[in-house]
Structures are given as C-alpha cells and as structure tokens.
Amino acid sequence: MSDKTVTDITIIIPSLNPDEKLMKTVEGILGKGFHNIVVVDDGSDEEHKKPFEYAAERGCKVLVHEVNKGKGRALKTAFEHCLTCSDCIGVITVDGDGQHGADDIYNCGKEMLRHNNQRVILGCRDFSEENVPFKSRYGNNITKFAFRVLCGIKISDTQTGLRAIPAQYLKAMTEYKGERFEYETNMLLEMKSQGIPFSEVKIETIYLDDNASTHFHPWRDSFRIYKIIFKYSLSAGASAIIDLLLFYIALHGLELLGISTPENTELTVLLATVFARVISSLFNYSVNRKVVFGSASRNSFVKYYVLCVAQMLLSAALVALLSTLCMAGKFGKLVIKLVVDTCLFFVSFGIQREWVFKKKQD
C-alpha cells in the first residue's frame, strides 16, 4: 500500500445521456495521470452512446445498465466491480457533467492518502458564490441545516458528488439503501451511524449553463432525500401528540376528581406528566428502536428510560415553574408544556442518537 500514489485510485463516473462534457471530464482525469477509470452507462439512449464509446477507446472500463436504474445503483455497480479488483486502494466518485475539475479530483485523492486511507474525503463547494443556481443554494442550505440539527452532521456541501472513498468502506456502501439521488444522502447518514470519519476539501464551484445537464429533479428527488431525514422527527412528533393529548386528559381527569387545585399545581402537573409520558414513551421507544435508529442494542431500553425519566422530571419542573409564574390555567399549561417539550426534543434527540441507540462500531 505504501508504494501506491494518488493516480492509482480508481475514478468512478456514473452517467445518464451524457454529452461532450463527459469526454472532457475523462480527458481531464487522464491528463492528471489516473489510469483506472470506471464509467457507468446508466441506461442511456442510443443518441448518447458516443461519449461512452470514446471513454472505452481511451482505456476506461465501461459498465452498462440496460435500463436507467438511478445514480445510487450506478455507484453500487461500480463499487461492486472495484471490490473484485485486488489492487483497488480506493475510489473517487465524479460527476460526468463537467462540475468537477481535474485538479480538485486529484486533491481529494491526495487528501485521502494523507489520512492513510482511513477517512472519506468530500469535495465541497462554496454555495455563497454568485454563479450558484438558486435551487442548488436553497436545497443545500435547507439540507445542511437538517443534517446539523437532526443528524449531528456538520457538512458544508450535502449534494457533492465528488467523494474519495477508501477501499475498506466499499463493501458497506454497497449495502446502503437507495437507488437514486437519495443514496448519496443515505451514504452520509450511514457514515455517521457507523462511525466512518470524513474530511472536507474545498473545491471550485462550477455550474455550466445554470446546471442544465443535471438529472436532479428538485421536487421529486428532494422528496426522496428529505424523507430520509423526516423519519427522525416523525416518531417524536407522533409521540408528542400522544403525550399532549394524554396530558390534557389527565389534567381534566384530576380536575373532575377534585385533585387539581391552585395550591397543588406542582403535584397536578407531575401526575399528569407521568401518566402521559409512560404511555407515549413506550410508543416512542418502539418506533425509535425499530424504525428510526435500527438499533439492536440490548441495553437501549434501560438507557432510553434513564433519559426518559430525566426528561420527564425536567419537563414537569419547568412547566410547573412557568405555570406558577404565569398563573396559567389548564389551556395555558398545555401551551407552556408544548414550548418546553419542543426545546427538550432537540436535546433528547441528540442524546438518543449519540448514546441510547448508538450502534456499536466494528
């Protein structure tokens, strides 16, 4: 491995109905000295076969999907091919539409080797530049915020297709879910889940013809991408609704029983909170464990309820304190609880992600 150089890294270019930009991309990569190039024809029509023929003539390995299967599947096909090559030290995924310069491709490979093939390297663009199309800037900013808040991943370019990946991670990446553009988002989420480290390298921001050649469809593919992230909050949202309804029902029941009085607000809120949280937490734990985090940890139940009890007591204390200060009635207490629990949601989510349901690393 020590005698390997940057140009020994395999370049992967998935492409659908390309034009001359693919040929220019191949030429630029060859010009930097790379000699292992895999191009995936993802079901292109006959009118767009010439760039692939050109790539094959220039010594590239061309893999063909008879029908369009999506960028995610094209990348997996290339990864599976590279796993059969004993001399593969890693790959660099490149878009074939001219957005990735040869120098940036080389620099990402160089950075991967500098980290001894232990880190994935992401080539990240500067979205504040004037030549960035609105849909790309807007989409990246929204996804970047969601990644940071909901997933605990700090990344400046969530849409980048320029990624240098050490060979040791390719097998795992062939098993990640997603067949189209959502696969690249899944890759980032799974890297976080599996503890695969990554670094960023700043690259030139290139958009040709306002990014007209891209096959990314803002509405269709944004839905595919964001639904992956939304599942993290849906469970908590459903649990919160159950919790609020049960909390309100409990307050009403305690009032009918004559237990709820202005003098024992703290006790009333505590009893209502415990009743609501016990039931809603069982629902939340089951969904989070099976659907959201996919955890098989045996002690996650204990960890979850340690967190649940701490959060419940803190919620009750804050709601009681604020209700007393505001002299809130039954509906006011409900509003206060909604605000308090919304704030605690973000804290709880991070703890669940990093401690309760954290997957064991190999």
| 3-class DSSP assignment, residue 1 | coil
* pLDDT in the model for residue 57: 96
Name the percent of the chain lying above pLDDT 70.
88
Residue reference for tokens 């995924």: 93
* pLDDT in the model for residue 25: 95
The two tokens of residue 303 are: 């960890």
CA dihedral of residues 187, 192, 193, 195 (deg, nearest 10): 110
* pLDDT in the model for residue 213: 46
Q: Which domains does the chain have, with CATH numbers?
A: 6-216 (3.90.550.10), 228-356 (no CATH)
* pLDDT in the model for residue 215: 46
* Buried/exposed code over 307-332 (b: 16+ C-beta within 10 A; e: otherwise): bbeebbeebbebbbebbeeeebeeee
Could you give phi then psi for residue 184, rounded to 5 degrees? Answer: -65, -30
Q: For residue 78, which of 203, 165, 17, 185 has the smallest C-alpha distance?
A: 165
User: 93 forms bridges with which residues in the sheet?
Assistant: 12, 163
- Nearest-angstrom CA–CA distance, 196 and 184: 15
Q: How far apart are the first and last CA of the chain?
A: 22
Helix (H), strand (E) at residue 200: strand 198-202
* pLDDT in the model for residue 170: 97
- Nearest-angstrom CA–CA distance, 179 and 192: 19
Per-residue model confidence as pLDDT tens digits over 139-189: 777 778 877 776 778 888 888 899 999 999 999 999 998 888 788 888 988
Q: pLDDT under 50 in the chain at which residues?
A: 212-213, 215, 221, 362
